[in-house]
Amino acid sequence: MPEQKQSSPLVDGLLVQIPDNDPEETSEWIESLDDLIEERGANRTRYVMLAMLNAARRKNVSVPASFTTPYINTIPAQDEPYFPGDENTERAYRRWIRWNAAVQVTRAQRPGIGVGGHISSYASVSTLYEVGFNHFFRGKSHPGGGDHIFFQGHASPGIYARAFLEGRLSEEEMDGFRQEVSTPSGLPSYPHPRQLPNFWEYPTVSMGLGPAEAIYQAWFDKYLHLNGIKDTSEQHTWAFLGDGEMDEPESRGMLQTAAAQNLDNLTFVVNCNLQRLDGPVRGNGKIIQELESYFKGAGWNVIKVIWGRGWDGLLAADKDHALVHLMDEVRDGDYQTLKANDGAYVREHFFGRDPRTKELVKNWSDEQIWELRRGGHDYRKVYAAYDAALKHKGRPTVILAHTIKGYALGEHFAGRNATHQMKKLTLEDQKALRDRLHIPITDEELEKDPYKPPYYMPDKDDPALRYMLERREALGGYLPSRHREDPHLELPGEKTYKMMTKGSGKQKVATTMALVRLLKELMRDKNIGKRFVPIIPDEARTFGLDAMFPTAKIFNVHGQNYTAVDHDLMLSYKESEQGRLMHTGINEAGSAALMQVVGTSYATHNVPMIPFYIFYSMFGFQRTGDQFWAAGDQLTRGFVIGATAGRTTLTGEGTQHMDGHSPVLAATNPAFVHYDPAYAYEIGHIFRDGLQRMYGDPGDRDPNVMYYLTVYNEPIVQPAQPENVDVEGILRGIHKIDEAAPDRPVVNLLASGVAVPWARHARELLLNDWGIGANVWSVTSWGELRRDGMEANRKNYLDPDHYTKPYVTAKLENTGGPFVASTDFDHILPDLLREWIPGRYYTLGADGFGFSDTRPAARRHFLIDAESMVVRALQAMADDGMIERDLIRQAIEKYDLMNVNATSHRVDDSDDSVA
């Protein structure tokens, strides 16, 4: 082991090695401090010291703040609470779980299967879980409602192994690990609610997303409680995380929110095994100390669980703190190496660094030294930490637990850099692990098939098994689990949506504003109004939601303890403990996490809530696509609103604001149903259908979806709903809004969203300038039409005797003429339908990066405006032999097509104020 470099005289800004020019005086002060601690205790001593520091600051004597404590347990041995369980009994079945978890992964690596798994992660976290399962984690049947547990993704074999002992999973299901379609009882590799919906609650294996969601789960529980929707006062959120995972921005980026909102119903348990997938997390540093400083700085209560009870005597005998100093000085890379060797190595390379620490263990055998545990593997130390976390009020708590990756698996696994990728136990490993865990399985049984070592299931009357089951019964049932009920809401009738059908008269109203008006109306509904939860990442004023500040108010657990600068205005900014708007600040990642939480309340709380997450559409799928994917995995329901959509509509902004592709990204997520409505009446039908599907009777449709609506900030005159409107077409993705003039050559114009008015203007130009008729189709959902087409293809592929016609094909056939499509998005979006368009098909699109300019100039630049549609239509008709090709050149010249300032269809951008 390399020799440590000379340590810095500064530790957290405090001098520790400067020469003392008056040691006698220093000794007197230290003696006084010792007397104070002995006579008055730690709490009084802390108060006095803080008072002295405050007095020093007032006299301009500056002392740097310290955000770390010595590398020892936060809770002294003498302050540990009584452990209420039977430790020997709990150890017995913890060993069974360890064995079965390792066997499950080994069997999954058998010849012909080879899907592997991770053995070492659960080995490091087992004790942390089992203390919780036996004494803290409350199930769904608990009178308080049950806890929310975010399990570490890679440790799933241990959770399955426990469920096996509980009788929840069969041996066949255990053997179906990572074989979800090739076996009738497959289990997903990690916590995936979509794949195992009655078992898993939170998808956590995309690292960093779990910590973010856990924070917002705890915050939302406060929201439910303070708004009188559900009593969540006894519910607690536990998030089990890896130390390597804490490098993800989402893992640390929202810690301040938890502290600012006093989320004492939240506990992070960071499994600090010092290793990530490839090697040490901080080989040259100390990740536990680093995390302590981060969490303390963010306002969290920090509990370190570093050393097991075997170290207590050594620390008590460490009169001059040489051992504590050594613990502080040794780096994580060395701690990892120490546990990959043996007791003799630890004696020489750890205790042997200082003659005083070497003296502490001079009468210890190498075996005794080797048996010294890290704190995260000591039942009593972990219990003390959990107990303290639940009793701490006013702040969230993080427990930093020192563990060993591959613990108890043997020398080939424990602490090794490659341990994360090791997929199976060799026969030698199996026998050694069996012996360490005292599993009653013979050599003959193991040698029979080394790829299929047997699971261990005790007799059903075994006292340890009965004890385990009784503990879960006392705590409210098995975990993890999801509520199986799916309560439906009483939904509003047609009257609520009537306002969306009347049009706007002469007033110009953007579709964003129209949707917000509908939301306000729905939030007033006596049955479901309180179920709506608007989620806003600091853009309420942009979307017209600021009008709700004085009435709905912004949720804050502290209420509003200041005078708002606009308090005398009608639309004053107001926060409240009963606020209904969840304003997350400039934080799309936090908003997306909150969307997951609110949208799964029907399962986590058996209380359906309706998220209405509205944001700049560019900062949705592009920025938080991973979270949206996790939301789909979690069976989230609700409305996701990409406001200010389009590559040219958000006038005056720029490249990073202009969304030309979110519908394309949305089309790749099977949990999203995307609509790009042009008019308010379309929005009304879509929103009503979304509520019915997700919160009412869905019929034969999957209710576990999210409706993504792209809406715009461009004010337009909203037309009244036509008579005999094609509601089915609106919902399925396409309906006709204008008929072609009779007795003329015909072309079909397809458009969506803000492009529909361009298409209608193009229809006028075609008729007036070129004598051509045009049907105009509003394509409310390119993505849903594509899914329908793909499903038809699949049916025709697998059932060649019966032909299924795609909906868009049936809708457009026999309309005559070619087809031209334009949107305010990339060409890719209308190209999604190319296969099923029954005729020549040309698309226009806003490809590339957006930029700042007027809407007309930008649209002419991308060649997507009305005049561009006309020229493209003439080209299509010429290619079909319907007109002379010379008309194309005439049209280009007539409209001065390549001049971005030559457009006949300008929009008054000053009208944006109503958007």
How far apart CA 87 and CA 376 sit, in angstroms, is 15
Binding site for Mg(2+): which residues? Answer: 243, 273, 275
Instruction: Work out the average pLDDT over 621-635.
Output: 95
* Separation of alpha carbons 323 and 354, rounded Å: 8
SS (H, E, C) 499-550: HHHCCCCCCEECHHHHHHHHHHHHHCCCCCHHHEEEEECCCCCCCCHHHHCC
Tell me what pLDDT residue 12 has. Answer: 45
pLDDT of 3 higher than 70: no
Could you give the CA distance from residue 337 to residue 629 in angstroms, rounded to a whole number?
38
Cα–Cα distance measured from residue 581 to residue 584, given in angstroms and rounded to the nearest whole number: 9
Q: Is the pLDDT of residue 911 over 60?
A: no
As a whole number of angstroms, the distance between CA 570 and CA 608 comes to 32
Give the pLDDT confidence of 245-302 residue by residue, as tens digits.
999 999 999 999 999 999 999 999 999 999 888 889 999 999 999 999 999 999 999 9
Return phi, psi of residue 900, to 5°.
Answer: -70, -15
Do 512 and 644 form a contact (C-beta atoms < 8 A)?
yes
Which pLDDT belongs to residue 93? 97
Section 451-465 average pLDDT: 96
Q: Which residue has better confidence, 744 or 410?
A: 744
Q: Supply the pLDDT for residue 904.
A: 61
Closest CA to 667 of 715, 613, 621: 621
| Sheet (strand 582-583) strand order | 582-583, 532-536, 610-616, 638-643, 706-710, 672-675
Q: Is the pLDDT of residue 4 over 70?
A: no
Kind of pairing between the strands at 672-675 and 10-11 = unpaired
Select from 835, 646, 851 the least CA-distant residue to 757. 646
Tell me the average pLDDT of the chain.
92
Pick from 1-10, 233-242, 597-606: least confident: 1-10
The pair of three-digit structure tokens given for residue 832, joined into one six-digit string:
């999604």
The pLDDT of residue 6 is 44
627 and 209 Cβ atoms separated by less than 8 Å: yes
DSSP code of residue 612: E
| pLDDT band (50, 70, 90) for residue 63 | confident
Rounded (10°) CA dihedral 806, 810, 811, 816: 130
Q: How many residues does the chain have?
A: 915
- Report the half-sphere exposure of 194 (CA within 13 A, side-chain side): 17
Give 504's strand partners. Answer: none
CA angle at residue 833 from 828 to 838, to 5 degrees? 140
Q: What is the mean pLDDT of residues 690-715?
A: 96
Give the rounded percent of residues in the chain with a pLDDT score beyond 90.
82
Q: Note whether 580 and 610 are within 8 A (CB).
A: no
* The pLDDT of residue 11: 43
Q: Tens digit of pLDDT for each residue in 809-843?
A: 999 999 988 999 999 999 999 999 999 999 999 99
Q: Give pLDDT tens digits for 841-851.
A: 999 999 999 99
Average pLDDT over residues 539-564: 90
The binding site comprises 243, 273, 275
Type and span of the H or E element at 708: strand 706-710
Residue 228's Cβ-side half-sphere holds a number of Cα atoms within 13 Å equal to 3
Joined together, the tokens standing for residue 620 give 């949705």
Which residue would you say has higher pLDDT here, 57 or 836?
A: 836
- Over residues 753-796, the pLDDT tens digits come to 999 999 999 999 999 999 999 999 999 999 999 999 999 999 99
User: What whole-number percentage of the chain has pLDDT above 70?
Assistant: 95
Are β-strands 773-778 and 735-738 bridged in parallel, bridged antiparallel, or unpaired? antiparallel
**What band does 571 get if pLDDT is binned at 50, 70 and 90?**
confident
Q: Is 544 left (phi over 0), alpha (psi -120 to 50) or beta?
A: left
DSSP 194: T
Query: What is the set of domains in the chain, with CATH numbers?
Result: 87-308+373-475 (3.40.50.970), 496-545+581-717 (3.40.50.970), 738-895 (3.40.50.920)
Structure tokens at 294: 């981060």
Can you read off the two tokens belonging to residue 558?
């502290």
Tens of pLDDT along 390-416? 999 999 999 999 999 888 776 655 544
pTM over 0.85: yes
Closest CA to 494 of 679, 687, 638: 687
**In this structure, which amino acid lies at residue 789?**
G
Confidence of residue 2 (pLDDT cuts 50, 70, 90): low
882 pLDDT above the threshold of 80: yes
CA distance 271 to 263: 21
pLDDT at 200 over 70: yes
pLDDT value for 905: 54
- Measured in whole angstroms, the distance separating CA 519 from the mean position of its chain's CA atoms is 25
124/246 Cα distance (integer angstroms):
17
**Interval 347-370 mean pLDDT:** 95
Quick one: pLDDT at residue 566? 87
Token pair in block for residue 384:
């003390």
Residue 332: enclosing H or E segment and its boundaries? helix 332-338
Residue 913 has pLDDT above 60, yes or no: no
* Least confident window among 8-22, 88-102, 343-357, 808-822: 8-22
* Average pLDDT score over residue span 860-867: 97
Residue 868: CB atoms within 10 A of its CB come to: 23
Q: Is the pLDDT of residue 650 over 70?
A: yes
Q: How confident is the model at residue 167 (pLDDT cuts 50, 70, 90)?
A: very high
At 449, give phi and psi (nearest 5°).
-155, 95
